[in-house]
Structure 1
Amino acid sequence: MPITGPSFEQLLDRIDQQDRVIAELQQRLDAAPPAAGVPAWPASSSAANSAYGTSNGTNWAATGEPTCGTPKPPTVYAPLVGDADNGKCPPCGEEKKLKKQHVVTHYVGYDKGFVIKPFNSKEYPFDMKINGRIQFRYNGFARNEETWTDNAGVTREIRNRSDFDIERARLILSGTALDERSTYYLQLDGDTDGSDMVDFFDYWWAWKFSDLLQVQVGKRKVAACRAWLLSAFNTTLVDRSMATDFFRPDRTVGIWFVGDLTENMHYEAMVGNGYRTADMPLSQQNDKFAYAATQWIDLGDGAFGNSFDDYEMHDTPVMQLGHSFAAAQQGDTFGGIPLDESDFVRLSDGTVLDAPSALAPGTRVTDFDLYFYAIDAAFKYRGFAINGELCFRWIDNIGGNGPFPVDKLYDRGFYAQTSYYLVPETLYVAGRVSQVDGAYGNHYEYAGGVGWFLSGNRNQKLTFDVTVLDGSPLNNTTTDILVGDSGLLCRAQYQAMF
């Protein structure tokens, strides 16, 4: 049965009208002369043309005829001339204007951290690496003395402790900016024994002139004491030794000069606000700079590595030898009270040097000069490692509202550590001894423990250690060794890095 109806008849009328228009246009095209430089449309062709100059018929651009004067144009067919710019083509003879395009200049990936890197670093010298680190720790301390008394005659309680602690939760941003020679480093740090505050731990900008010299400006570690300069995430036991933290400097703001004197000899030198001025307002700092320098050399075949245990399982012996020096002048008071910058120095019994009556009843130290020197050495071979550092500290030109029984102090100390891998790149045992010795006391630390890498690399690690203390002169919540501690300290730590 034939289909009938008003709507169908209207559709047929429209088709007839379109057929007449197409036929009329085809007659005009057949009668028109070909345009200059464009091949004529063959009368026998009935191929349809697209808005982009493509056809289901013969490829007339393949004849090599020029189109709009442009070299190597896109495939087109006469009479429509098009290109890839939305089917639009400028009049013949005019310069073609290309559309603006979004160009992907960087890519995201992972390379020992999340990275944002350019495809062409010379054209786009901007990149960033993002790293995260955390240390989750259990601390348990059992005292064998109830109190300790400092040199000023003040008696304080020694407490038993048992707690969980997030010691170092860090986010690090580093990379290149503005120029391939210009680098930056930013480290944020938070921990639960620091009132859960987040600090700008390190932040510096650097320009590398050559392998011999890079200049860094900002805040970072004072360049002295090898065990201090080693990352806290690469320590063999849970944390640094008692002696290291007693003598070492801290962070400060200043200028650093860093480079390699030879292929295996490195140096750092700096001038900064103070010996220990991390997170300290300028109002509590004096107007005298601190100076420091360190140098070390690697000996043997292959790189020494960035830790003191032999994770690399060196086939041939390797060594590292170094030394460090620092100097700082301390002074100035506010309302007769020494500035906070000066209160980091403790006598060898743990008494704060500028505390009231520290050296003699009714007196207070307000001025002194500090000099520090250290010698370090380390050795690795087939999973076995041994390392240590000798530290020397001189306190000269002691001043204040004396008289004092002494005008200078000399303290010395050391740590020595050894480790051995029971399972290569996985499990090791370690032991350590450290000492602080001076005119007001002589104290030791004895420690032993186990390190276990969990994931076939250094990114996850469990560490257990036990430490015997006989009266600590150090007060440091980071290492969980507090002043006066005499007893047994047990620590267990999980750390992760990406």
Structure 2
Amino acid sequence: MALVIMLWFLPEKVQAQDDLKVEAYDTLSIEKEPIPNTTAGEFNPGRGFDLYKSKWGSLNLSIYGLLRYTNQLPANQTFTDHLGRTRDIDTRHDIQWHRTFVWASGFFYTPKLRYTVSIWGLASTGQTLIFGNMHYQIHKALRIGAGIGPNLGTRSLQGPWPYFNATDRQMAEEALRPGFTGGFWLTGEPLPRFNYWLFLGNNLSQLGINNTQMTRDLTKSASVWWMPTTGEFGPRGGFGDFEQHEKLATRFGTSYTYARENRSNDISNPTPASTQIRLSDGVYIFETGALADGVTIRNANYQIGAIDLGFKYRGFHLQTEFYRRKLSRFNANGPIPETESEIIDKGYYVQASYSIIKKKLDMYGVYSTLRDQFDRNPWEVAGGLSFFPSGTRSWRVNLHIIRIEKSPAGSTFGYYTAGQSGTTVSIATDLML
């Protein structure tokens, strides 16, 4: 609040100059570039097509689509969880128009007040959602936003999507990360090349959860990052040096999320409605029997901290991120082992990419792993090629191959099924206009 008051009472000349800078920046973003990257990529449109623009408002339409073939091998698999129980694995072999986004975005009354309405569809789950957010830029150092946004526990939730090396996240991050929910945030650049983002949200993931299933506990998260050499890291801060930086671009960041999470339905139902948190063996923490046979966890503390580092230079990109997740304060309907009263998982990934043919063909490799207290220590090695037929990031054809052991991650929209070991092959193409 003190910061808001200080900015409000800036000298008129300074304030007027800043207003002109903001207006010019936002006008440029409407006409030529995506909305400034202060929201997660999932809610950040591309260039799009201007349908209407006046001094009082604007409307831009942008779309994203992903078509993907996925084959998880071997076809027939089982895995043993940390309690020694054998579970079946439902491997995937399918062709899907996998993900659709349509964004309607622009400003109203003043370029400082921006809005985005998103239509999101996932064919593999049959889900279609409509949601949005709006934000107001008071100053370069302070932008206020509200709506659906990310818990800030990992870097990929803070802008890069869909400019990953492949078309989805890698194993270690997918296993530990938080999700998206309704919330309120503050973000800005208070010092040159230094940014912050603070977020207060409803829960870890609002997907499939309605307001009658939520508790009064709110999530808290924060992220800061520094880009000391160039002050930028490419469009959206995406992976790969498609832009061919002539000067070394650097990014150093750290993130943290805390949540008191609830299973979001009655314990009489063995399958929880809240499915964002998995143990390192891929089992949902709120599933009946997750930590002890017949015992159900009602509530648990979730905390994750991450540190990320990235470098880009002349078509080469090196990216790494380290995670530490802690699950604790379990509220259960029965006893759980003392050794599992607090669960800590540590993980990291390393990714490197290089443009074999400038603005046409990239190659990349990835390694990620978790170190857990169950001594399962899952890992993966992955790599692939991305071809850009139009010479822009807007259209990509991607070949992605993963060798994975004991996957802790699992979803219907990523590359992984919980517990799987073996090889996954994906061929995909996506468009962002």
> How high is the TM-score relative to the length of structure 2?
0.84
Measured after TM superposition, the shift of residue 164 of structure 1 is 0.6
The residue type equivalent to 2:110 in the other structure is D
Tell me, in whole angstroms, the C-alpha distance in 2 between the residues paired with 1:410 and 1:187: 35
Confirm whether residue 361 of structure 1 aligns to residue 293 of structure 2: yes
Residue 407 of structure 1 is aligned with which of 327, 335, 341? 341
Q: Which residue of the other structure, out of 345, 354, 363, is the alignment partner of 1:420?
A: 354
If asked which structure has higher relative contact order (CA below 8 Å, sep 6+), I would say: 2
2:385 to 440, 447, 450: 450
Q: Which residue number in structure 2 is paired with residue 57 of structure 1? A: none
AA paired with 1:329? R
> Any gaps of 5 or more consecutive residues in structure 2?
1-29, 33-46
Instruction: For residue 178 of structure 1, report the CA deviation from its aligned partner.
Output: 2.7
Letter in 2 for 1:177: F
Contact 2:248–2:311 (CA under 8 A) maintained in structure 1 = yes
Moved more, 339-348 or 301-310: 339-348
Q: 1:303 to 1:171 in 2, by over 3 A?
A: same
- 2: CA distance between counterparts of 1:417 and 1:333? 36
Of all paired residues, the percent bearing the same amino acid is 25
Q: Which amino acid aligns with 1:272?
A: G
Post-superposition CA distance 1:128-168 (Å, at most 9, x none):
11101111111111127621132455433234532111222
Contact 2:317 2:354 in 1 (8 A): yes
2:241 to 310, 317, 320: 310
Partner AA of 1:375 in structure 2:
I
- The equivalent position to 1:270 in structure 2, one of 180, 183, 199, is 199
d(CA) in 1 for partners of 2:73, 2:307: 34
What is the match of residue 47 of structure 1? Answer: none
Equivalent of residue 257 in structure 2, options 319, 326, 338? 326
Going from structure 1 to structure 2, the CA distance change for 1:460 and 1:332 (only over 3 Å counts) comes to closer
Alignment-mate amino acid for residue 459 of structure 1: S
After superposition, the C-alpha distances for 1:38-84 in whole angstroms (9 at most, x for unaligned) are: xxxxxxxxxxxxxxxxxxxxxxxxxxxxxxxxxxxxxxxxxxxxxxx
Partner amino acid, structure 2, of 1:246? A
1:496 pairs with 2:428:
no
More divergent stretch after superposition (351-360 vs 131-140): 351-360
Q: Which among 130, 144, 148 is matched to residue 61 of structure 2?
A: 130
Counterpart of 1:168 (choices 67, 75, 99) is 99
Structure 1 or 2, whichever has the larger Rg, is 1
Change over 3 Å in CA distance of 1:436–1:186 after alignment to 2: same
SS in 1 for 2:173: helix
Find the aligned partners of 1:456 and 1:336 in 2 and give their Cα distance.
53
The structure richer in strand per residue is: 2
Structure 1 position 439 matched with structure 2 position 373: yes
2:354 maps to amino acid: Y
Residue 285 (structure 1) aligns with: 214
Query: Secondary structure in 2 aligned to 1:219?
Result: strand
Aligned-residue offset at 1:304:
1.6
Aligned pair count? 384
Divergent runs of 4+, >6 A = none
Q: Secondary structure at the match of 1:194?
A: coil
Residue 442 of structure 1 aligns to a residue whose secondary structure is coil
Conserved in 2, the CA contact under 8 Å of 1:152 and 1:356? no
CA distance in 2, matches of 1:273, 1:303: 31
Between the aligned partners of 1:288 and 1:307, the Cα distance in structure 2 is 32
Q: Residues 211, 256 of structure 1: CA spacing in aligned structure 2 closer, same or farther, 3 A cutoff?
A: same
Alignment partner, residue 371 of structure 1? 303
**Superposed CA offset, 1:274-298 (max 9, x none):** 1122241112222210011111111
State the Cα distance separating 1:207 from its structure 2 match: 1.7
Decide whether aligned partners of structure 1 residues 474 and 332 sit closer, same or farther in structure 2, where only a CA change above 3 A counts: closer
Task: Check conservation: 1:376, 1:389, Cα contact below 8 A.
Answer: yes
The unaligned stretches of length 5 or more in structure 1 are 1-108
Query: How far apart are the structure 1 equivalents of 2:75 and 2:373?
Result: 24
1:341 Cα shift? 5.9
The Cα offsets for residues 359-379 of structure 1, whole Å up to 9 and x where unpaired, read as 122322222211110000000
Alignment of 1:9-28 (within 5 A): none
Alpha-carbon contact 2:401-2:425 (below 8 Å) kept: yes
Query: TM-score with structure 1 length normalisation?
Result: 0.73
Who is 1:185 aligned against?
116
